[in-house]
Structures are given as structure tokens and as C-alpha cells.
Chain A
Amino acid sequence: MKVIVCIKQVPDTTEVKINPETGTLMREGVPAIINPFDQYALEEGILTRERHGGTVTAISMGPPQAREALRDAVAMGVDDAVLLCDQRFAGADTLATAYTLARAIERLGGADLIICGKQAIDGDTAQVGPGVAEELDIPHISYVKKVVSIGDGRIKVERMVEGGVEVIESSMPVLITVMKDINQPRLPTLKGIMRAKRTEIKVWGLEDIGAEEGRVGLTGSPTEVIRVFTPELRKRGQVIEVPTEEAVAAVVRKLRELRAV
């Protein structure tokens, strides 16, 4: 079983604060982390290897610092890690990112199972996983909450949808995007951390993955961000500290006003 996990290094958005005076994002001192959903993807990759044998490779596209995220992945237990890093990859939207990751996966000889987190917490698009599958011409299953079984070149999973769960079976190779209730990611062991220090993180550029220059980075991106702004803050409402009866009366009054009672 050959597994490839796609990960992204992201700023810890829970640490991102807004400068109240200028209304701009304050990024200084915000730690870079492995996208939380990708932690579940890595764990599922490692679990799959433990159950079915084989190898797990982590790949990421990003600036040179993203090597640290891959090192953390090695510390968790993946066998191998590749960073896709090239000036020409810069400014990629989801289409160009999916294309680039797909070329790298091909260069790695493909995989039986490709795992992505359901979305990254900085962009929140959830588009790269399905995009990679399309580019590789393999099926994908998104929002997977449980891998039920793998065997005979087939995989059975549970997929979370509005109002319930779908049980889906697919042939492999397949790409899945995973949610956070799929597993409990392990912490790196001391041995893992030592190994991560010794492991060389491969760095591949445009030529290494045989990508077309016109399809990567800014040039390969049909979408363009033209404006970024801080959302209007909600108007501060009324906050009251009164005895229980009065508090209940205030809530009921509000609900009546809204015709919810």
C-alpha cells in the first residue's frame, strides 16, 4: 500500500488578532503550524501503513520554511517527505496548486491512497483535494469521517453530508479528504523527532516534477484576489446583568420581537 498525504503549513489562525486601531491583521509572532485537518490526514496515512503495510510520503507546496511542517510529519511517523518549492509556484490559486501537487504525485509514481485534510484553515476553500483527484483522473471522496475497510483494491468509507452519513465504496487509487473525527492524531515520539532531524527533506522545483510553467503559480491561476479588507464588526448589542427572572423576561421579549415564540 502506497500512501501520499498532502499537507499545508498555515499560520495558526486562532492566534491571529486584529489591530483594533487600523483594522488590519496582526501576524507578527503568529506561529506556523501544520494545518490542523492535515494532522488527521497524516495520522490516517500512518494508521493505513500500520494496518496494511507499505509506505507513507508527505508532500507540501510552499516557501522554504514549510520544510519545518514536513519535518513535523516525519516526526509523527511518515517515511519520506518532499517540499515543492520554486519561485514560479508562488501566488498559486487552488487550480494551480492542485495541478502542481498532482504532477509531484505522478513523479512519485502515484499512490493507492492519497489523503488530504478537508480544508486548510487559512484559505478555507476545501478545493485542492478534489482538484488533485481531477488532475490525476482518479476518483475522490470528500468529508470522510471513517475508513471502514481497505482490501482487494477497494476502499469503503463513511462520508459526512447534511443530515447524515453516506457509506461509499470506491476503487483505488482514490483521494480522500478527511474530517477531524476520523482519528486522534498521535504526538511525535522522541525517536521520531530524532529521525526527523536526520531525514533529508527533498526539495523539488518546476523541472523536477515536469510541470508546465504556464499552469503553475500566478500564471496558472485563473482567479485573482483584488481586495482584502476587514469585515465590519457586528454592532455591540445590549449586555445585562440582572436577576434571573428579569433576564428570562428580556430573552422572551427579544424572541417575541423576532416572532420566534
Chain B
Amino acid sequence: MTGIRIREDVCTRCGECVAACPFGAIEITGGTGATSGLPRVNDSCTLCGACTDSCPVGAIEIARDSGAGPAPDHKDVWVFAEQRGGRIAGVVFELLGEGRKLADSLGQRLGAALLGSGVRGLAPELIAHGADVVYVADDPCLDRFRDEPYALVLEGMVNKYSPNIILFGATSTGRSLAPRLAGKLRTGLTADCTGLEIDTETGLLRQTRPAFGGNIMATILCRKARPQMATVRPRVMKRAGADPGRAGEVIPFAVDSGRMRIRTDVLEFVEEVTDTVSIEDADIIVSGGRGLGEARNFSLIQDLARAMKAAVGASRAAVDSGWIAYSHQVGQTGKTVCPKIYIAVGISGAVQHLAGMQGSEVIIAINKDPEAPIFKVATLGIVGDLFEVVPALTKELRKASGAD
């Protein structure tokens, strides 16, 4: 039996739980103190336990279903081997690295589900990076990614081989496909995880992810339904190394395309024309914000990015002002990025922006306002005039690369 109970005889009506609840699910009427009513738990409660930790007198009890035990017939950790045009997406190698660790601690195999047209040849690459088994569905109807046929084929594979865990990259493909598959399988799915580990006692997958724009982290379990499914944020997990000599098994999976109902068609793919790298894949991002003042000054960012072979990012203010396209926006309503180096120029660092970039390894900030919140997260902060610092920096870097 699961549920939350506040013990009336113990509760002091101090109100700590009301403040601690991340979901605003606890209400207390008549103020705090002895005269007020017992805190009431409303519909928004997710039984996360933040209140039990906060309660100074231990008045809050959460009863959880302790029946854990993964169903014994579900074995192995799988990764979805996302590919586009016959090239395996970068995140897949990160999933293989992480999946290998999970599989080893469970004593199970690491599998890869590879779907596409003419993709059979990619299997050895997946094996070299840690897969023990590659399940290959190779059919013309899987040529370009489409949610419906991909979800149907994966459902068939899962029903046949019963994996325990499936990981997807939290890409536009993974985040679209995984919920569709989870719906078919009626199992749990955790979005955009940044931490995964096996609970040593129960063998369950502990899935940790940011929520509320990165303000809080939540750890999530899927106790009973199988497979346990998660999408994993790109560039967070360590990439698997390659060992071309590794042995593995390749198992073809037959697709009956005639019986497949497909209602969507990809008519064309228009590549974004840019002379720099896209921000999702970049090791270095140079981002510009409101401090640039006007559209033409954004060229300072582009010049610096070019000198460093970096991608160009932008704050919401810069995008809303029309200085650069939305596809470059970093932050809560834009993209979440985790490059090795993030250079923020003329960006004050509003919470929404920080939510999209504070996972970067190193942050360098250039801003004239010493009080700007960006300096709180910066590895190196330069208080100064960007119109002087940035051109000088660009010049210096060009010189350096010319000398190399």
C-alpha cells in the first residue's frame, strides 16, 4: 500500500513541510503554530519524500510498496542505436559506455537495437564499443526515422527478447520515440536523465534527472513494469572506448513492412546552413546576450566562435531581439547544452539561461556588471567591456592558431 500520512498527534504545525514541498502539494490553514489546522496533502503530491526529510519531529510517514524484484524473465540492458543516414549518433557511444557499467553490475548482457535501412554494417562498431548483442532490423521502411514504424519494430523486439532496461539518447528522436514505445509497453519512462545507477539491494535502476529548470534533482524508480526505460541527456555520460577485437553476436530481426501502418512521411531534410558547428554537438560554445546591444554586434560572437572552431549560442534576449535564429537559443525554452567550454558574452545569467548551460565543464563569462549572476557559476569571470575584450581575444586566438 502506498500513501502519505501526517500524524496529528506528532505534528507541531510548524509549516516546514509546506516550504519543503517542491510540488506545492501541502497546504496548512490558519497560519502556522498550535492553533492552525493539520497540514493537508493535495493532488499534486508525488510521494517524493522531500517533506519527510524536512519534518523536525518525524510526523510524516510515507508508505511505499517495497515489493521490488525485477521480473526474472526480463534480462539485459539495451541501448537504442540511433543513426541518421548510416551514421551512429554520438550519444549512442555514451549510452554504450554507461550501459556497459549497468550491465556489468547486474551481471547481464549489453544489447543494442539497431533500426534502419542498409545499416547492418554498423553492428561491428556497436560491438567494438561494448555491445554483446546487436539486434538488427534492416528494412527500407525504416530508412528515415519515423515514430510509428520505429516504435512498432522496437515493441516487437522487446516482446521477443524481454530486456530489463532500455536507454535512449535524449535527442529529438529519442524523446519522441521513447514515450511512444513506453505507451505501447505500458511501462515507466524517465526523461533526460543525468545520472543512472543500479540499486545494490533491489537491482532496480535509479534514474536521476533535473526538474524545475534545473533547480531540483529527482531520483526515480520503476519498480514493477518492464523494461525500465530512460532517455539520457547527451554529453553527460562518458563515451565508451573502442576495441575492434571485441566479439559479439548479431541477431537479425525480421520486419514485415507490408503489415506496418505508416501514416507519416519525411518529405525532406533541410540542413541548417551554418559555417559553424551545431550547439548540441559542440565541444566549445560561444554565446552572446543582451549586452551586445544590437544585431550587427552579434558578428563579434561569430568571429570569436570561428577563431575557436566553436558553435554559436545565444540567450533568449538575443533571440527575441531577432539577432540570431531560435535554433541557437540556450536555456530553458531553448536547448540544454553541456560542452567542455562555454563562453558567455554579455549574458547576465538569468535562471532560465543557467538551466540550459550549467552542466558545461568550464564556463568563462565576460560581462561588465560585476554583480551579474553568471559570475556565480563561472569558472573564470572577466568583469569588463565586451567590445574591448572580445575583439582582442579573437585577434589573440587567431594569432595563436596561425602560429600552431
Q: How far is the CB of A11 from chain B (nearest CB, A)?
A: 7
Q: How far is the CB of A26 from chain B (nearest CB, A)?
A: 7
CB of A168 within 8 A of CB of B265, answer: yes
Query: Does A90 sit within 8 A of B, measured CB to CB?
Result: yes
Chain B residues with Cβ below 8 Å from A95 are: 182-183, 186-189
CB of B389 within 8 A of CB of A234, answer: no
How far, in whole Å, are A26 and B218 apart by their CA atoms in the complex? Answer: 16
Complex: chain B residue closest to A238, CB-CB: B380
Q: How far is the CB of A230 from chain B (nearest CB, A)?
A: 6
Query: Does B203 sit within 8 A of A, measured CB to CB?
Result: no
Query: Does B128 sit within 8 A of A, measured CB to CB?
Result: no
How far, in whole Å, are A49 and B101 apart by their CA atoms in the complex? Answer: 52
Query: Does A50 sit within 8 A of B, measured CB to CB?
Result: no
Query: Does B292 sit within 8 A of A, measured CB to CB?
Result: no
- Number of A-B pairs, beta carbon distance below 8 Å: 308
Known: A165-B269, A225-B46, A228-B216. A240 touches B188 (CB 8 A): no
How far, in whole Å, are A164 and B268 apart by their CA atoms in the complex? Answer: 10
Render A1-39 as a binary contact track against B, CB cut-off 8 A, 1 for contact. 000000000010110101100101111100000001100
Query: Does A156 sit within 8 A of B, measured CB to CB?
Result: yes
Which one of A51-59, A72-80, A128-136, A194-202 is at the interface? Answer: A128-136
Query: Does A255 sit within 8 A of B, measured CB to CB?
Result: yes
CB of B182 within 8 A of CB of A131, answer: yes
* Complex partner residue of A130 from B45, B176, B225, CB under 8 angstroms: B176
How far, in whole Å, are A25 and B397 apart by their CA atoms in the complex? Answer: 42
CB of A255 within 8 A of CB of B220, answer: no
How far, in whole Å, are A180 and B189 apart by their CA atoms in the complex? Answer: 25
Known: A222-B188, A223-B220, A226-B48. A127 touches B179 (CB 8 A): yes
How far, in whole Å, are A94 and B54 apart by their CA atoms in the complex? Answer: 27
Known: A248-B392, A254-B364. A229 touches B183 (CB 8 A): no
CB of B222 within 8 A of CB of A222, answer: yes
Complex: chain A residue closest to B192, CB-CB: A124
Which one of B110-118, B134-142, B235-243, B277-285 is at the interface? Answer: B277-285
- Which residues from 261 to 281 on chain B have a C-beta closer than 8 Å to any C-beta of chain A? 263-272, 278, 280-281
Query: Does B105 sit within 8 A of A, measured CB to CB?
Result: no
Q: How far is the CB of B369 from chain A (nearest CB, A)?
A: 11
Query: Does B42 sit within 8 A of A, measured CB to CB?
Result: yes
For the complex, count residues of A whose C-beta is within 8 A of B.
Answer: 96
Render B358-380 as a binary contact track against A, CB cut-off 8 A, 1 for contact. 10001110100010000111111
- Which residues from 41 to 85 on chain B have a C-beta closer than 8 Å to any C-beta of chain A? 42-50, 54, 64
CB of B215 within 8 A of CB of A18, answer: yes
Known: A168-B267, A224-B47, A237-B378. A244 touches B217 (CB 8 A): no
Known: A134-B184, A222-B187. A25 touches B221 (CB 8 A): no
CB of A231 within 8 A of CB of B214, answer: yes
Chain A residues with Cβ below 8 Å from B47 are: 91, 218, 224-225
Chain A residues with Cβ below 8 Å from B162 are: none
CB of B265 within 8 A of CB of A131, answer: no
Chain B residues with Cβ below 8 Å from A11 are: 24, 212
Known: A166-B266, A167-B268. A225 touches B377 (CB 8 A): no
* Complex partner residue of A37 from B147, B182, B333, CB under 8 angstroms: B333
Render A233-261 as a binary contact track against B, CB cut-off 8 A, 1 for contact. 01011111110110110111011001011
Render B211-252 as a binary contact track against A, CB cut-off 8 A, 1 for contact. 111111111111111000000000000000000000000000
Known: A134-B151, A166-B269, A169-B264. A142 touches B213 (CB 8 A): no
CB of A36 within 8 A of CB of B333, answer: yes
Q: Which of B176, B272, B377 has the most CB of A within 10 A?
A: B176
Query: 10 closest Cβ contacts across the A-B interface?
Result: A134-B183, A222-B188, A90-B43, A239-B381, A223-B188, A125-B191, A222-B225, A241-B383, A127-B179, A237-B379
List 14 contacting pairs A-B, 8 Å CB cutoff, sorted by A. Answer: A25-B20, A121-B213, A134-B183, A145-B326, A161-B269, A164-B271, A218-B47, A227-B219, A229-B219, A239-B380, A240-B381, A244-B392, A251-B382, A252-B397
Instruction: Give the interface of A toward B (CB within 8 A).
Output: 11, 13-14, 16, 18-19, 22, 24-28, 36-37, 62-63, 85, 87, 89-91, 93-95, 98, 121-131, 133-135, 138-143, 145, 156, 159-171, 174, 179-181, 218, 221-231, 234, 236-242, 244-245, 247-248, 250-252, 254-255, 258, 260-261
Known: A168-B266, A222-B222, A223-B188. 10 other contacts (CB 8 A): A13-B215, A89-B43, A124-B332, A127-B175, A130-B183, A163-B278, A218-B2, A223-B190, A225-B48, A247-B389
